[in-house]
Amino acid sequence: MRTAQTDLTGRARLRDAAIEGFAAQGFGESLRTIAARAGVSAGLVRHHFGSKEALRAECDATVLQRYRTLKAESIHASPARLFAAFPPDKGSGILLVYILRSVREGGAAGREFIEALVAESLLVTREAVERGLVVPSRDEEARVRLLIYQAVGALVVRLTMHPDTALDDFESVMEQFYADTMLPTLELFTEGLFTDNSYLEQYLQHTSGNPQPPAAPAGGTPPP
């Protein structure tokens, strides 16, 4: 006998199978293949979602929610606890590759996904600022957007340079991604890059409409 609970369970199982299938093979994955991955009949996909577009929309929303949960958990965990969980599990790899697929696909869906990713990250970053974990920005949204573009773009470039990467080997994708990016990312986030703030100060003065002339070299005269 079918109940509301079994319907919910079947829907969730199909959604999770679709997320993994889309990540592993791309968004061309057929409903029949998704159903087979979930171990149900193809008719149940249309019963629960009506169309592939509706299924994709629910998958996108679920991936974004899980991404935000992972980010929120990471800012509440101590560094020791966070790195004790390495290497990341298969689920994290599926999320990473799904996001990559969405961006590489382009089009309206890819753009909407990036905008949603920025919005989710902005919420998490503001919480991190309030907790004193992250320094505030003069333009929080611009900083978050840059970091999202850099993180996703770095993954796209890396996979372009290594076209033989098996995207359905989620654990390996995650392990290599973190091996390539974790140390330089933590160095930049923790220690910065410039040794002083002169470039930032000059830029802020320039954009304020009151640029200051550069200082004269020692023993010389100011530039004309």
Angle between helical axes of 90-105 and 107-130 (0-180°, round to 10)? 130
The count of domains in the chain is 1
Q: What angle do CA 190, 101, 182 make, to 5 degrees?
A: 20
Average pLDDT over residues 161-169: 86
pLDDT in tens, 62-113: 998 888 888 888 878 888 887 777 766 788 889 888 988 888 887 777 788 8
- C-beta separation of 75 from 131 below 8 A: yes
Residue with the bigger pLDDT between 214 and 133: it is: 133
Structural domain includes residue 125: yes
Q: What is the pLDDT of residue 157?
A: 87
Which range (10-24, 91-105, 205-219) has the least confidence? 205-219
Q: Maximum CA pair distance of the chain?
A: 92
Has residue 197 been placed in a domain? yes
With CA atoms as reference, report the closest residue to 172 among 73, 98, 93.
Answer: 93
Judged by phi (left if over 0) then psi (alpha if -120 to 50, else beta), residue 51 lies in beta
pTM summary value: 0.73
Residue range of the domain that includes 110: 59-206
Q: What is the pLDDT of residues 18-41, one digit of tens each?
A: 999 999 999 999 999 999 998 888
Residue 196's pLDDT band (cuts 50, 70, 90) = very high
For residue 171, give the CATH number of its domain: 1.10.357.10
In a domain, 32, yes or no: no
Would you give the end-to-end CA distance of the chain in angstroms? 88
Confidence of residue 8 (pLDDT cuts 50, 70, 90): low
Distances in Å between the alpha carbon of 79 and those of 63, 71, 73, 186, 187? 24, 13, 12, 11, 14
214 — pLDDT class (breaks 50, 70, 90): low
Could you tell me the pLDDT band of residue 210, with boundaries at 50, 70 and 90?
Answer: low
Report if residue 17 sits inside a domain: no
The answer as to whether 147 is a domain residue is yes
Question: Quick check: is 1 in a domain?
Answer: no
Q: What is the mean pLDDT of residues 136-140?
A: 96
Please report, rounded to a whole number, the percentage of residues in the chain having pLDDT higher than 90. 36
Confidence of residue 211 (pLDDT cuts 50, 70, 90): low
As to burial, measured by CB atoms within 10 angstroms (0-12 exposed, 13-18 middle, 19+ buried), residue 46 is: middle
pLDDT given for residue 212 in this prediction? 56
Q: What is the pLDDT of residue 87?
A: 64
183 assigned to some structural domain: yes
CA angle, 132 as apex, 124 and 143 as ends, to 5°?
50
* Structural domain includes residue 31: no
